[in-house]
Amino acid sequence: MKSSLAGLLLMSLTSLPLASQAVPAQSPPAPAADDAAHNELRALRDGLLDAMSKGDVERELGYFHPNVVVTWHDAEVSRGRDGVRKYLSRMLDGPDKVVESFRADVNVDELTILYGGDTGISFGSAVEHFTMKGGRELSLPARWTATLVKEGDHWLIASLHASDNLFDNPLLNLAKRAAWWVGGLCLLLGLGLGFLLGRRRRTA
């Protein structure tokens, strides 16, 4: 699976929950249990990033909960590891693939917010770099939110939601430029047609 799962899905997500980030000085010290949880989450991050760098899709999927729910940038939803696998295969492989390659620069806004020691919410930003099937390259600013759960001794990604700015992004700018080109072409064709019709009437 070219460009691995990293693509689209881990797209904004992966390095996500785990970034180690300094806690503001004025914040009270985190409990020891929280420190241990954040260290475990960093281990998840490191393992996932290593799997991505090696293109090991099945290992990547192992960091997702079996019932994971992922909402993609195109508003399509994948349920479960098999659903994620099928989506990525369709987008990244085969004759009808949309994306040739993908990478993302991911930032975490703050440490994962922990609830009860076995649930966490992480969120942040990303700049996603796509090379489309036709060769066009796009860089999209994005936001993501992920929910993590701990089962046994392992943290897993239970849900991921990725989104782009609807009103300011390269795809919208391309559409605007295309509209200007189409509008200009229609205007030129209209003027040319009007000129020809005018000449025909004068010579009739």
Q: How many angstroms separate the CA atoms of 123 and 162, rounded?
A: 10
Question: Both 173 and 131 in a single domain?
Answer: no
CATH number of domain containing 155: 3.10.450.50
Eight-state DSSP code of residue 93? S
Q: Is residue 48 part of a domain?
A: yes
pLDDT tens, residue order, the chain (204 aa): 544 444 444 444 434 444 434 444 455 555 677 899 999 998 888 887 788 667 688 998 999 999 999 999 888 999 999 999 998 888 878 777 877 777 777 788 999 999 988 999 999 998 878 787 777 787 888 899 999 999 999 999 999 998 877 666 555 555 444 444 444 555 556 555 555 555 555 565
Question: Both 180 and 101 in a single domain?
Answer: no
Q: Is residue 70 part of a domain?
A: yes
Q: Within 13 A of 63's CA, how many CA atoms are on the CB side? A: 30
Question: Both 37 and 68 in a single domain?
Answer: yes
Question: Both 105 and 181 in a single domain?
Answer: no
Q: Is residue 2 part of a domain?
A: no
Q: CB of 39 within 8 A of CB of 18?
A: no
Question: Both 127 and 204 in a single domain?
Answer: no
Q: How many angstroms separate the CA atoms of 182 and 177, rounded?
A: 9
How many structural domains is the chain composed of? 2
Query: What residue numbers bound the domain in which 174 lies?
Result: 167-204
Q: CB of 100 within 8 A of CB of 115?
A: no
- The encoded tokens of residue 173 equal 């700018």
Question: Both 149 and 62 in a single domain?
Answer: yes
**pLDDT on residue 20:** 39
- The encoded tokens of residue 147 equal 């929910």
Question: Both 114 and 182 in a single domain?
Answer: no
Q: How many angstroms separate the CA atoms of 1 and 192, rounded?
A: 51
Question: Both 13 and 28 in a single domain?
Answer: yes
- The encoded tokens of residue 45 equal 């991050």
- The encoded tokens of residue 56 equal 């090991």
